[in-house]
Amino acid sequence: MLNFIVKRLFSGLVVLFFISLVTFIVLMWIPGDPALLSLGTDATPEKLAELRESMGLNLPWYEQYYQWLTGFLVGNLGNSYVFGEDVFTLLVQRLPVTISLAVLSMAIAIPIAIVIGVLSAIYKEQWIDYIARSVMQLGDAMPQFWLALVFLVFFSAGLGWFPVAGFTPVEEGFFASLHSILLPSIVLAIGQIGPLIRIIRSSMLSSLEQDYMLMTSVNGFTKFRSIGKYALRGAIIAPLTIIAMQLAGILGGAVLVESIFALPGLGRLLLMAVEQRDLILLQGIVIFVTGTVVVVNMVTDILYQIVNPMIRFGGSHE
Amino acid sequence: MMNRLLHLENLNVKDTHNHELVKGVSLDLYEHEFVGIVGESGSGKTLSVKAALHLLPNDLGVTFEDSEVLGKSIIDLSDHEKRRLIGSGIGFVPQNTVAFLHPMIKIKHQIGDAFIYHTKANKKEALQKAEELLVKVGIKEPKRVLHSYPVQLSGGMKQRVNIAMALMTDPKVIIADEPTTALDTVVQKQVMQLFNDLYTNDGVSILFISHDLKIVKRFCNRIYVMHEGKVVESGYTSEVFADPTHSYTKKLLRLIPSLKSGRTRRLG
Ligand SMILES: Nc1ncnc2c1ncn2[C@@H]1O[C@H](COP(=O)(O)OP(=O)(O)OP(=O)(O)O)[C@@H](O)[C@H]1O
Ligand SMILES: [Mg+2]
């Protein structure tokens, strides 16, 4: 187990390294001058040169990357050009918004997907199943930005049920905060629900066909009992891993939703960093987000080993 | 006339391509009988006994003229009655495949389920009973087995757990589909002895599928011989073995010369 964790950790670090390197190189190649962007077009050439020098922009890319990397290794993500602030501080400020969005959207998507997925497997080829499949396809086909705009126009601007923009921090009341991110979370959840239903439905279907289900008939259990105790348990593994993998998708969706709903989260910060060519800030966000995804996937892999007796005890046949 | 515990008349099973898998099979099991079903692989033995318990998947085309379980016509029963009747009255030992035990549930949490469900016993009583039965089927460390997941057990162990599980509700009928194939000869003897004890001492009736003609000859008082989806011969074991009428049965018996020469009492 320890061996597995170390291996997993190592491969995670390798991924992080490559991603940071690639981001850096790509951004170096994009035309545009961060110093000019941060000073404005009426800046004097002397000032520009001075700033470039102090930002280290005159160094070759690999030295800039090296500086960033050594800073990162001692826990310093550097200073944002645009905000003039420590990148880590900026991340911590924006994080609550994105985390709330991710958590709430999962909290909406997962229970609904479980109910729909399980029912559609049990009533395969019956009307519940057809409805479920339509929901899946609708969720897949609906572009999230379009959905976000429609929701915004209809529920916020039109009906006035939700704020048009902005985030209410939890300190100002839990429900107020929830209310401020409910609509964008629903948009995110709709984007997640298709794949979730699909995996729950298919693992449930395969569980229902297993031999242990035959034994529940032999034993004369009610459908409720045989599904509740036996079928569901046999269907748990695949969805668990998918849920972890979807985190990356949620973070991607968050960028979009946050910019449409004007929520001050990581996604919007990322967009700003790209627009302003704020290389250091962007690098910090990318590393942070990929790091989170890598860590979450690692934790799931480990949990997967613990939850699944077939893996946990797989090697110990008589 | 003795009580008829299982009755299946003119069973036909077709697969999704309309290919006939079982053709006009009729089976009976009476009280105080130990009945064997023999036949080569694919002859429809498993399908027939599963059909008798209404366990076949819906995608197979199953028809029959009559089907009784424990004296009750199955078509007349409500779902609830059917579940209770089969769940508590019949012990089914499935043919050895990998997954009749739930892989994600410890043995102790599944072996007693039917017992608790049908007799309203508590968990502790169920575990105690399970432990006794596990010892009876030749498991030396029943506690360890109870605390294991199926994947931690060998094939033979799992099969014995399945047998013990089938006995939990003290069923009147045991249907065992090649219950001893994964077991070594010592345990095999032990399990057959257990079935025989249940049959002679506890009055349990047994329907027993086997490839092993020696075992069938020794234990069963009546047999069915199946071939290509049909019952080609049936009757008292001694008569069938002494004077097989169907060519397939003759061939089958010829394959095991020691049977005809009467040196069959070595087993047990
Ligand atoms: N669910 C199913 N769908 C389609 N065909 C099936 C199904 N189950 C069994 N069959 C086919 O029906 C035939 C009879 O199968 P069955 O399992 O009854 O044989 P058997 O006599 O028990 O053989 P064995 O001794 O190998 O267990 C086989 O050809 C098998 O491939
Ligand atoms: Mg079979």
Tens-digit pLDDT profile for residues B194-218: 899 999 998 999 999 998 888 898 9
CA B120/CA B103 separation, integer angstroms: 25
| The pLDDT of residue B268 | 36
> Does the beta carbon of B89 sit less than 6 angstroms from any atom of ligand 1?
no
Mean pLDDT (whole number) for A260-276: 86
Structure-block tokens of residue B95: 């043919």
Ligand 1 nearest-atom number relative to CA B48: 18
For A311, the closest chain B residue by CA position comes to: B151
Asked if A306 has any chain B CB less than 8 Å from its own CB, the reply is no
pLDDT-derived band at B262 (thresholds 50, 70, 90) equals very low
Mean pLDDT (whole number) for A152-170: 80
CA A8/CA A297 separation, integer angstroms: 9
| The pLDDT of residue A205 | 94
The partner residue sitting opposite B55, judged by closest CB among A217, A230, A309, is A217
User: Does the pLDDT of residue A318 top 70, yes or no?
Assistant: no
> Smallest CA–CA separation between B246 and chain A, in Å?
34
The partner residue sitting opposite B114, judged by closest CB among A210, A220, A233, is A220
Burial of residue B121 (number of CB atoms within 10 Å: 0-12, 13-18, 19+): middle
- What is the DSSP code (8-state) at residue A86? B
**Nearest one of B24, B4, B21 to B74, comparing CA atoms:** B4
CB neighbours of A60 closer than 8 A, spacing ≥ 6?
none
Mean pLDDT (whole number) for A27-40: 71
Express each pLDDT in B100-138 by its tens digit.
999 999 999 999 999 999 988 899 999 999 999 999 888
For residue A314, give Cα distances in angstroms to A237, A308, A309, A317, B151: 15, 9, 7, 7, 6
For B174, the closest chain A residue by CA position comes to: A218
For residue A203, give Cα distances in angstroms to A92, A153, A197, B1, B149: 38, 38, 10, 50, 20
| The pLDDT of residue B247 | 82
* Sheet order of strands, B230-236 included: B90-93, B173-177, B205-209, B34-39, B222-227, B230-236
| The pLDDT of residue B267 | 42
> Does the beta carbon of B96 sit less than 6 angstroms from any atom of ligand 1?
no
Mutate to test the interface with A, among B83, B120, B140 (most CBs of A within 10 A): B83
Instruction: Find tokens 């019952």 and name the residue.
Output: B231
For residues B28 and B6, is the Cβ–Cβ distance under 8 A? Answer: yes
B-chain residues within 8 Å CB-CB of A210? 99
CA A258/CA A185 separation, integer angstroms: 10
- What is the DSSP code (8-state) at residue A110? H
> Smallest CA–CA separation between B268 and chain A, in Å?
27
Express each pLDDT in A296-305 by its tens digit.
888 888 887 7
The amino acid present at B67, given as its one-letter code, is S
Q: Are A233 and B105 a contacting pair at CB < 8 A?
A: yes
Coil, helix or strand for B93? strand
User: Does the pLDDT of residue B266 top 50, yes or no?
Assistant: no
Residues paired with residue B233 on neighbouring β-strands, in sequence order: B225
> Does the beta carbon of B227 sit less than 6 angstroms from any atom of ligand 1?
no
| The pLDDT of residue B259 | 55
B-chain residues within 8 Å CB-CB of A222? 83
Proximal ligand: closest to the CA of B93? 2
- Tell me the DSSP string of A123-147: TTTSHHHHHHHHHHHHHHHS-HHHH
For residues B99 and B53, is the Cβ–Cβ distance under 8 A? Answer: no
CA A232 distance to own-chain centroid: 26
| The pLDDT of residue B258 | 59
CA A157/CA B7 separation, integer angstroms: 71
| The pLDDT of residue A273 | 87
For residues B236 and B222, is the Cβ–Cβ distance under 8 A? Answer: yes
**The model's pTM:** 0.81
Helix axes B155-167, B123-136, angle to 10 degrees: 120
| The pLDDT of residue B97 | 66
Q: For chain B, where are the alpha helices, taking DSSP H only? A: 45-52, 79-89, 107-110, 113-119, 123-136, 142-146, 155-167, 185-201, 213-219, 237-242, 247-254, 257-260
Burial of residue A72 (number of CB atoms within 10 Å: 0-12, 13-18, 19+): middle
| The pLDDT of residue A315 | 53
Q: Are A234 and B104 a contacting pair at CB < 8 A?
A: yes
CB neighbours of B95 closer than 8 A, spacing ≥ 6?
B46, B177, B178, B181, B209
User: Does the pLDDT of residue A53 top 90, yes or no?
Assistant: no
Mean pLDDT (whole number) for A168-189: 84
Mean pLDDT (whole number) for A174-186: 85
Express each pLDDT in A92-105 by its tens digit.
988 888 988 999 99
User: Does the pLDDT of residue A312 top 80, yes or no?
Assistant: no
Comparing A72-81, B185-194, B256-265, the range with the smallest average pLDDT is B256-265
- Check if the interface score ipTM surpasses 0.90: no
User: Does the pLDDT of residue B261 top 60, yes or no?
Assistant: no
CB neighbours of A199 closer than 8 A, spacing ≥ 6?
A117, A238, A239, A242
B-chain residues within 8 Å CB-CB of A229? 105, 113
Test site for ligand 1: of B45, B62, B178, B210, most ligand atoms within 8 A of the Cβ: B45
Distance B41 CA to ligand 2 centre (A): 7
| % pLDDT > 70, chain A | 95
| The pLDDT of residue B257 | 58
**Count of residues making up chain B:** 268
pLDDT-derived band at A314 (thresholds 50, 70, 90) equals low
Distance B74 CA to ligand 2 centre (A): 23
pLDDT-derived band at A317 (thresholds 50, 70, 90) equals very low
The amino acid present at A303, given as its one-letter code, is L
A115-129, A174-188, B181-195: range with highest mean pLDDT: A115-129
Q: pLDDT averaged over chain B?
A: 88
CB neighbours of A188 closer than 8 A, spacing ≥ 6?
A101, A102, A105, A109, A144, A250, A253, A254, A257
Coil, helix or strand for B225? strand
Buried/exposed code over A168-187 (b: 16+ C-beta within 10 A; e: otherwise): beeeeeeeebeebbbbbbbb
| The pLDDT of residue B114 | 92
| The pLDDT of residue A26 | 80
Express each pLDDT in A109-118 by its tens digit.
999 999 999 9
For residues A225 and A236, is the Cβ–Cβ distance under 8 A? Answer: no
pLDDT-derived band at B1 (thresholds 50, 70, 90) equals low
Kind and range of the H or E run holding B4: strand B4-14
> Does the beta carbon of B19 sit less than 6 angstroms from any atom of ligand 1?
no
> Does the beta carbon of B94 sit less than 6 angstroms from any atom of ligand 1?
no
Asked if A305 has any chain B CB less than 8 Å from its own CB, the reply is no
> Does the beta carbon of B45 sit less than 6 angstroms from any atom of ligand 1?
yes
User: Does the pLDDT of residue B256 top 80, yes or no?
Assistant: no
Express each pLDDT in B83-109 by its tens digit.
999 999 999 999 876 679 999 999 999
> Does the beta carbon of B268 sit less than 6 angstroms from any atom of ligand 1?
no
A-chain residues within 8 Å CB-CB of B113? 219, 221, 229
Mean pLDDT (whole number) for B217-244: 91
